[in-house]
Amino acid sequence: MEKQKLIINGGNQLQGEITVQGAKNSSLPLLSATVLVCEGECVLHNCPRLTDVDYAMRILSCIGVKCRREGSTVITDASAVNNNEIPQSLMREMRSSIVFLGAMLGRLNSCKLSFPGGCELGPRPIDLHLSALREMGAVITEQHGYLLCSAPRGLHGADISLSFPSVGATENIMLAAVRAKGITQIHNAAREPEICDLAKFLTACGAKVHGAGTDIIIVEGVERLSATEHTVISDRIVAATYLAAVGCCKGELILSGVQSAYLGQIIPLMQSMGCRIYSFGRDSVYIRVKDRLKAPPTIRTMPYPGFPTDAQALLMTATATAQGTTVFVENIFENRYRHVSELARMGAKIKVEGKVAVVEGVPTLYGSELQATDLRGGAALVLAALAAEGRSVVTRLCYIDRGYENIEAVLRTVGADIRRV
């Protein structure tokens, strides 16, 4: 896996149709939520084939949840959960494994896990997760890189106010609260579509969750949850990736299976850059780009429904060859400009000062030897290589494979000259 690389000959326009995969950042908390279902099989459709989803399934198996994949459907049975420890090797593989904490406490009243790993996007603290769970009665001690968590008298409801609308913390609190005694209020909750998808699943299992999608979520604890069948929402960041790809390479695409409402600021922003984009039918988006894009003056990343931090690198690539200068302000993560030095090797003109990056559009990028630095940064390098003149080689594909199903196969079907060796 590690030795694989993408060979890309840039310059082709894109043309055709792509069905967008299920959302990684919804599949992961949903898989964690199935730990709370004490009997019966949960069926999750539209679960993307990604290494992060594989790791989540391995974590489930490790604690005693039976889980198997049938195509894009994952089936789990958590009736025999029997282990409260997630091994360090699995925890280190991805940051989002912290989202198992709330569900395991909710099910087993105890769990032992190590500090999460995953992309290096600056320090990935979990203070908001831990302080909220402590308010719900969890006793959490940190010893040699391990978290020892227990709720001797079970978890109880609490009024929690998040200092930052953390996606993961909101999910962990919801998962801990659905079977806790009493009512939990989450103030300044994250409003991402993945939160709504999780609430929809939990409600279908018999949980009492209200307000998902707003900044106040109320959960009333129930005795038990019953198994259900659920279809994961589409991945809005993967959709943004393929929209940005047309922005970089020109051409026209139809994306199907996309809830355009979840794309929020991305569609109006790209329209302001000169892209023709409109949504049609129940779940399709059309985009056509013929001429060089116009650089938007500013792009600020914000919690949903603001411009998503996960799309920052992707839109930066589109602005790298646009007409004019764009100022990026990355307000969510500290270290999310790691792709800039790689883009600079291709001739991009980008200056980074702390959380600000100033991109001065150039007419052309040139192919180069590139190393993916993190999941979305890696995808941004692929887009840049598709648009560049000449040949590029992209390595460290493990980052990209965490979030994109067969990225080269999908792009080849719409005309890109890209192959994995």
Q: Which of 59, 60, 91, 128 binds ligand EPZ (CB under 6 A)?
A: 128
Which residue spans within 207-305 are E strands per DSSP? 208-210, 216-220, 229-231, 251-256, 276-280, 284-289, 298-300
Report whether 178 contacts 219 (CB < 8 A): yes
Ramachandran bin of 182, using left for φ above 0, alpha for ψ from -120 to 50, beta for the remaining angles: left
Of residues 191 and 250, the one with the C-beta less far from ligand EPZ: 191
How buried is residue 80: exposed, middle or buried, by Cβ count under 10 Å (0-12/13-18/19+)? exposed
Of residues 221 and 403, the one with the C-beta less far from ligand EPZ: 403
Of residues 384 and 388, the one with the C-beta less far from ligand EPZ: 384
Report whether 16 contacts 253 (CB < 8 A): yes
Q: Which range in 30-38, 83-91, 166-174, 389-397 contacts ligand EPZ by CB under 6 A?
A: 166-174
Count of CA atoms in the C-beta half-sphere (13 A) of 119: 26
Spot the catalytic one: 42, 47, 67, 119.
Answer: 119
Closest CA to 12 of 400, 274, 385, 394: 385
Q: Does 318 bind ligand EPZ (CB under 6 A)?
A: no
Measure the CA–CA gap between 218 and 125, rounded to whole angstroms.
25
Measure the CA–CA gap between 29 and 94, rounded to whole angstroms.
13
Q: Which range in 81-89, 163-171, 179-187, 347-355 contacts ligand EPZ by CB under 6 A?
A: 163-171
The least distance separating ligand EPZ from the CB of residue 115, rounded to whole angstroms, comes to: 12
Measure the CA–CA gap between 42 and 78, rounded to whole angstroms.
9
What is the H or E stretch that residue 391 is in? strand 391-395
Q: Which of 164, 210, 224, 409 binds ligand EPZ (CB under 6 A)?
A: 164
Question: Is 47 considered catalytic here?
Answer: no
Q: Does 337 bind ligand EPZ (CB under 6 A)?
A: no
Find the binding residues for ligand EPZ in span 231-250 (CB under 6 A).
none
How far CA 304 is from CA of 32, 171, 214, in Å, comes to 22, 15, 10
Report whether 97 contacts 86 (CB < 8 A): yes
Sheet of 208-210, strands arranged across: 159-161, 183-187, 216-220, 208-210
The least distance separating ligand EPZ from the CB of residue 100, rounded to whole angstroms, comes to: 12
Of residues 201 and 333, the one with the C-beta less far from ligand EPZ: 333
Q: Which of 125, 268, 281, 297 binds ligand EPZ (CB under 6 A)?
A: 125
The least distance separating ligand EPZ from the CB of residue 384, rounded to whole angstroms, comes to: 18
The least distance separating ligand EPZ from the CB of residue 225, rounded to whole angstroms, comes to: 22
Q: Which range in 13-21, 124-132, 138-146, 205-213 contacts ligand EPZ by CB under 6 A?
A: 124-132
- Shortest Cβ contact with ligand EPZ: which residue? 168
The least distance separating ligand EPZ from the CB of residue 91, rounded to whole angstroms, comes to: 14
Of residues 106 and 168, the one with the C-beta less far from ligand EPZ: 168
Closest CA to 131 of 101, 88, 103, 92: 101
Measure the CA–CA gap between 158 and 185, rounded to whole angstroms.
6
Of residues 5 and 129, the one with the C-beta less far from ligand EPZ: 129
Residue with tokens 């198992």: 100
Compose the 86-105 pattern: x for residues touching ligand EPZ by CB under 6 A, - for all others.
Answer: ---------xx---------
Find the binding residues for ligand EPZ in span 6-65 (CB under 6 A).
24-25, 28
Q: Does 124 bind ligand EPZ (CB under 6 A)?
A: yes
Q: Which of 137, 168, 296, 367 binds ligand EPZ (CB under 6 A)?
A: 168
Report whether 205 contacts 197 (CB < 8 A): no
Q: Which range in 14-22, 126-134, 138-146, 205-213 contacts ligand EPZ by CB under 6 A?
A: 126-134
Size of the site for ligand EPZ (CB under 6 A): 24
Measure the CA–CA gap between 399 and 338, rounded to whole angstroms.
13
Size (the chain), residues? 421
Q: Does 309 bind ligand EPZ (CB under 6 A)?
A: yes
Using CA of residue 324, residue 330, residue 335, residue 336, what is the dihedral sign? negative
The least distance separating ligand EPZ from the CB of residue 33, rounded to whole angstroms, comes to: 13
Q: Which of 169, 243, 263, 416 binds ligand EPZ (CB under 6 A)?
A: 169
Among all residues, which ones are annotated catalytic? 119
Q: Which residues bind to ligand EPZ, rule: CB under 6 A? A: 24-25, 28, 95-96, 119, 124-129, 164, 166-169, 309-310, 332-333, 375-376, 403
